[in-house]
Structure 1
Amino acid sequence: MGRRGPALLAALAVVALAVGCTSTKSGSEESTGDGKTKIGLVTKTDSNPYFVALRDAAKAEADKNGAELVALAGKFDGDNDGQVAAIENLVQQGAKTILVTPNNSTGILGAIKKARDRGVLVIALDTETDPQDAVDATIATDNTNAGRLQGQYVKAALNGQPARSILLDGTPGSTVSEQRHAGFVEAAQPENLGTEATNGEQNKAQQATENLLQRATTVNSIYTLNEPAARGAYSALKAKGLADRVVIGSIDGSCDGVEAVKSGEIAVTVMQFPKKMAEQGVRFAVEFAKSGKKPTGFVETETAVITDKPLAGIDSEDTAWGLENCWG
């Protein structure tokens, strides 16, 4: 497919530490005092497998290069206050760089500004801030394009039928949710039979789909922000006997999600590479600690369309490849 592995920068290392103002803990709360570079990581939650994979990759990259990683998280998807407290905590601990996946792309800005005013390098991972230049750099999937790729596949899979879609979004205020939704709509040009925020959670997505199906009787496709939402949608469709009549698309590329594509629950997923985001972020942090050099702008990580039903004109990989490259 020609998009394997974007070039990644120098090397870095980190010992996982976690501090308890939010929910993730990965070691002692005190610095080792041995002169290691301290890097903070603030994820949306510490339970979503995507952010677990991101955190574990950051820890492994840090461990290779002798840095110290302090990993914190919001208590739930959308917990802006928890992330603000985590950033403040990391600044107090003396973190030289903070990597953050914002729950709220505007609500986190004050804490980020205070950190940068103290000379801390702040890099957004996975999710952009609004505005994007509120951080020094962003390392992420092009989420609009990921939504577009999902929409292109779903539209083509309908064999000329107009898309009549249920749209299952993420957390209100999240740029990831807004961008993926916009990309899907641009590509699939669906008749919108109903939109619900699911926070990317399977149970909420199942309930939302059940509710929408009461009036969306002509549905032939479902857009989902991520794979847990897709699996919730599938459960609702299966209970109604509609699973074989509706094309479900998704985004993420977890091993569970690829298995769902393999089993036919999901028609397609657009794979992301959170490990590469984390590794690149840690490498930037190490370089900053060594030389003071700061990254700037948007650093895009790759995507791959995963399906066992390839369609003409859409570049894709099968689930065998997906299971070799998935995360979680």
Structure 2
Amino acid sequence: MKKVLSMMMVLLLFVGMLAGCTSNTAPTETKEPEALKMGLVVSTLNNPFFVTLKDGAEAKAKEIGAELIVLDSQNDPAKELANVEDLVTKKVAAILINPTDSDAVGSAIKLANEAKIPVITLDRGANAGEVVTHIASDNVAGGKMAGKFIVDKLGGSGKAVELEGIAGTSAARDRGQGFNEAVNGTGIEVVAKQTADFDRTKGLSVMENILQAQPEINAVFAHNDEMALGALKAIEASGREIMVVGFDATDDAVKAVEEGKLAATVAQQPDKIGSLGVEMADKVLKGESVDSFVPVDLKLVTK
């Protein structure tokens, strides 16, 4: 009997040891790491250029496995500030912003600075707040490119109109600067200069008024393709022959160039601007250094 009891105790001890080993080697449940979360604040998604910029950013975010929250400011600085507040609340790791206005965006950037969230500006710069890098085309060089094209096509003399973008944006300021540097000292006279807010409908109405006021116009330089296409429509309706040069190389503009309606457009690469924004943000978050300005190449598109 004692022998039987001893054997049972040994058996129980052995079973217990097996159970202990099993519990020690059982796989533990692991959590999937959270995706890196970034925010992209776009001045307006009512412009094909910025839609392409957004697409480039989203493609790069998908490639690196990051989550990208895209918010539309609808060309309203107040909405822009609210969008950044929303991203700060969501605790994104980085904010990419395409400013509605280079001055007004300062408040939104400072808000992100206070939350220790790195900020990258795209296409348009900021005049206040701390930005780790700015990614854009050289807009001054692009304006010069357009101005030189007009000077060459007109043989160095003629009357030109400049349709300006949203006042206060770095893109409007720089493109205008480059254009005027190119035509100054030549026989080209800028007979009218008026803002149309980068908008096609406003480009149409502003150009209609200029056509009524100016009996002689040989060329129009618009700070973006949307205004250029609006101006082109007004010119076609008037029956006058006027050369129009745009900026951005949107699909509609390139098609108009191919059809011989638009003389030229300065090509940016908005998809690359958006893609580089996400790429630079990823580098910053990994502790890598980035340049304060990352330029994106330009070229002139003609028929």
TM value normalised by structure 2: 0.85
Q: 1:205 maps to which residue? A: 203
- Partner Cα distance (1:255, 1:46) in 2: 15
Q: 1:44 maps to which residue? A: 43
Q: 2:275 maps to which residue? A: 279
Mean CA deviation greater in 146-155 or 233-242: 233-242
Q: 1:249 maps to which residue? A: 245
Counting aligned pairs with the same residue, the percent is 32
Query: 2:114 aligned with 1:117, yes or no?
Result: yes
Shift of 1:238: 1.2
CA RMSD of aligned residues (A): 1.5
Residues 15-74 of structure 1: CA distance to partner in whole angstroms, max 9, x if unpaired?
xxxxxxxxxxxxxxxxxx951111100011122111111111111111111111000011
SS in 1 for 2:178: helix
Unaligned runs of 5+ in 1: 1-32, 309-328
Amino acid at match of 1:127: R
Query: 2:185 aligned with 1:187, yes or no?
Result: no
Contact 2:113-2:130 within 8 A present in 1 as well = no
Amino acid at match of 2:44: T
Shift of 1:298: 1.0
Amino acid at match of 1:191: E
SS in 1 for 2:58: helix
Contact 1:121-1:294 within 8 A present in 2 as well = no
SS in 1 for 2:232: helix
Query: 2:168 aligned with 1:169, yes or no?
Result: no
Q: 1:19 maps to which residue? A: none
Q: 1:150 maps to which residue? A: 146
Q: 1:326 maps to which residue? A: none
SS in 2 for 1:193: strand
TM value normalised by structure 1: 0.79
- Partner Cα distance (1:294, 1:40) in 2: 20
Q: 2:24 maps to which residue? A: none
Mean CA deviation greater in 253-262 or 188-197: 188-197
Residues 100-121 of structure 1: CA distance to partner in whole angstroms, max 9, x if unpaired?
0111101111221221232211
Q: 1:235 maps to which residue? A: 233
Q: 2:77 maps to which residue? A: 80
Contact 1:284-1:294 within 8 A present in 2 as well = no
- Partner Cα distance (1:100, 1:298) in 2: 14
Residues 185-235 of structure 1: CA distance to partner in whole angstroms, max 9, x if unpaired?
111234222122111111111111110111211111101011111111111
Q: 1:67 maps to which residue? A: 66
Cα distance change on mapping 1:108 and 1:229 into 2, 3 Å: same
Amino acid at match of 2:200: Q
- Partner Cα distance (1:296, 1:81) in 2: 30
Residues 74-110 of structure 1: CA distance to partner in whole angstroms, max 9, x if unpaired?
12x3x11111111111111011111101111011112
Higher percent of residues as helix: 2
Query: Size of the alignment, in residue pairs?
Result: 269
| Structure 1 ranges of 4+ moved more than 2 A | 291-296
Q: 1:17 maps to which residue? A: none
SS in 1 for 2:213: coil
